[in-house]
Copies of this chain bind each other. A is one copy, B any other.
Amino acid sequence: MFEQRIAYGAAYYDEYMPLSRVEEDMALMEQAGMNIIRIAESTWSTWEPREGEFDFTSLNRVLQAARRHHIQVIVGTPTYAIPPWLARKYPDILAETHDGPGRYGHRQLMDLTHPGYRRHCEIIIRRLLEAAMPYENVVGFQLDNETKPYDTCSPRAQALFKKWLQEKFGTVEALNAAFGLAYWSNALGSWDDLPDVRGTINGSLAAEYEAFQRHLVTEFLSWQRSIVDEYRRPDQFVTHNFDYAWRDYSWGLQPDADQFDAAKAMTVAGCDIYHPSAAKLTGTELSLCGDIARGLKGGQPFLVLETQAQGPFAHFPFPGQLRLCAFAHLANGAAMVEYWHWHSIHNAKECYWKGILSHDLLPGAAYREIAAVGAELTALGPALTGFTRKSPVAIIVSGRSLTGIKHDYSFTGMDYNDILRWLYDALFRLNIPCDILPDTTRDFTGYDLVAVPGLYCAQEDLIAALRRYVAGGGNLLATYRSFFCDEHVTIRHAPQPYGLTDVFGMTYDQFCDGTGVEGVEGWMELLRPDDGTEVLRGYRHWAYAPYAAATLHPFGRGQAAYLGAKLEAAALEALLETLLPRLGVLVGSVRWPLVVKSGVNGQGRQLTYLLNYGPATSYTVERPCRELRADRALAAGDSLALSPFDVAILYE
């Protein structure tokens, strides 16, 4: 897939255009070195304006024009936004949520379990595939878009959830015991007593419902995959546009889907990545989200199905940043970069998420910068494709832990992703390459270090696997709040860190707000190290002086470090700088804002991306190589100058 050249393009919406200019647009794209578009995923009401009445005029027009201009096409199934007639036909097709019944208008508001929705999804998918299959430039399919459960709490969904509980627990007594339902008199006397889950105050039950909701996403996408498989050619891929936890931009692990599970329905992973720009561009979101996406299919190249072009108001890029980010995606392992989107939209809702073309539809500054990237990608061809890498560090992420912390009632307002980002951001600034693994991983062979940030809900066998890994010579780095609960958000009634006190060589039973303690800015556990456990950091405060903040302990042939407090970013970075080498991870001399990403391309050649997120700087070359963009040879020790937001690619 995309062996000859990086795929480069945009989402394209002929349906939204105030006038027909598909020919002109495709020509402009071709001129810009763009060779792929994604279409069709948002406009069911265009394809089927009235029930059973289909109109693929626009689809054919775009596919033909694309073909004329040597542009490949990803066709999306248009099921994430339903047409008005369907909402009118089935009023209960709109998901009833924690906030009550829905109102038609928005996308992503359906009850995925509604049989009428499924029936009509199948009809439109089949008709769309039939229309698209004749076109050889259709290279793949995207199933739905950013699928989530939309918080469905319909009676239908809740009935399925009851079944889910019955299969898992058998009896209400087992459920009562596992979830602690006796608390505040919530114990069930029979399955019929199961109340509307929206009222529950039981964190285990609430978390379980969210796990069930995530499962609906996997089930829905797998079902779509089975339909698409009836039509597609062997060379056509199947992907999905996975998105991330959102804080005005992509922030961290997606709470509303189990992406590692759902990705089994894909042949190639895909995602969208949105990030701050201008003075706020750091590259962290591109790196983290890229690492997650690359992890979905075991390290294989992934597709960036959407990333911002000119972005909205606060995300509008500085000159050079579009180019920098394009290469940053490639440096993270992307095989394709597609902007969202080609042309700015003139009304409805996302008008200020501007495309490559502004509303005047004229090639402007963004188009010119993108065209320059396109020309480079054409020139570099297969040198950049098939890029993969081997990371020394694996980070285990856990949707269960995310939900568990959300429902922990700890009065801290803490979010799992804050812990993940706290650790990840420090590693990123230190230029430590990481892989992201799901918490279902049991084999950590090949990694120098396994890091577990905020692994609040840890299954017994994961704990056992980590113990084996350390005993066998691995290095483990855990943060505060890890190992606290089982998979049902039930806190362990045994010493913490549960099941690993001998591995970490310490325990604790007290934790509190560390605000005001030097170098600490929130959660703080009062660690009690065993003899022989090294205290990496203590607390400078009369009340907490007897306790440790961070520890290191040998266990078996390996070592286990524990960070018990949310240190300030600089303090964490300083600690990691000396700790990581002791845990077998090399910390080089290059620091953010200069980011270095190395790996091998499809031909097995070493590529090193230098991404400069800061002011002008220079990089000292370590080994003889060629710099691809300027196409010149460099010797070891040469100093390579990088201007602000500059990129260099070393090829060995």
Residues of A within 8 A of B (CB): 15-16, 18-19, 42-46, 49-51, 53, 78, 81-85, 87-88, 102-107, 177, 179-190, 192-196, 198-204, 248, 278-279, 310, 312-314, 316, 318-319, 344-352, 358-362, 364-365, 408-412, 485, 488-496, 507, 509-513, 516, 523, 543
Contacts and interface: CB of A to CB of B under 8 A. Distances in A.
A493 B346 contact: yes
A345 to B, nearest CB: 7
Contacts of A18: 177, 180, 490, 493
Contacts of A177: 18
A43 B106 contact: no
A195 B310 contact: no
A361 B44 CA distance: 57
Given A16-B183, A278-B512, 7 more contacts: A45-B186, A84-B189, A278-B513, A312-B411, A347-B489, A349-B409, A350-B409
Say whether chain A's binding surface is mostly helix, strand, loop, or mixed: loop
Contacts of A49: 187, 189
B512 A359 contact: no
B105 A195 contact: yes
A349 B199 CA distance: 13
Contacts of A82: 185
Nearest to A314: B513
Contacts of A199: 102-106
Contact of A313 (B104, B201, B352, B410): B410
Contact of A88 (B46, B78, B195): B195
A344 B351 CA distance: 50
Contacts of A493: 18-19, 346, 359-361
9 contacts: A16-B180, A45-B185, A46-B182, A50-B189, A313-B411, A316-B512, A346-B493, A351-B408, A351-B410
Contacts of A84: 186-189, 193-195
Given A84-B193, A199-B103, A509 B362 contact: yes
A304 B226 CA distance: 64
Contacts of A359: 491-493, 496, 509
Given A352-B409, A410-B312, A195 B42 contact: no
A615 to B, nearest CB: 11
Contact of A347 (B53, B104, B310, B490): B490
Given A184-B348, A348-B203, A411-B312, A543 B318 contact: yes
Nearest to A51: B189
A42 B84 CA distance: 43
Given A192-B88, A316-B510, A359-B496, A185 B78 contact: yes
Given A105-B202, A359-B496, A411-B312, A347 B491 contact: yes
A193 B88 contact: yes
A649 to B, nearest CB: 24
A33 B485 CA distance: 32
A279 B16 contact: no
A510 B358 contact: yes
A204 B18 CA distance: 14
Nearest to A187: B45
A279 B512 CA distance: 12
A543 to B, nearest CB: 5
Contacts of A186: 45, 81, 83-84, 105, 348
Contacts of A410: 312-313, 351-352
A53 B358 CA distance: 65
A491 B411 CA distance: 41
Contact of A510 (B19, B364, B409, B485): B364
Contacts of A87: 195
Given A194-B84, A201-B106, A316-B512, A189 B347 contact: no
Contacts of A278: 512-513, 543
A365 B509 CA distance: 9
Contacts of A15: 182-183
List of 3 A-B pairs having minimum Cβ-Cβ separation, nearest first: A103-B199, A105-B199, A316-B512
A187 to B, nearest CB: 4
A186 to B, nearest CB: 6
Given A189-B45, A312-B410, A511-B313, A494 B105 contact: no
A180 B491 contact: no
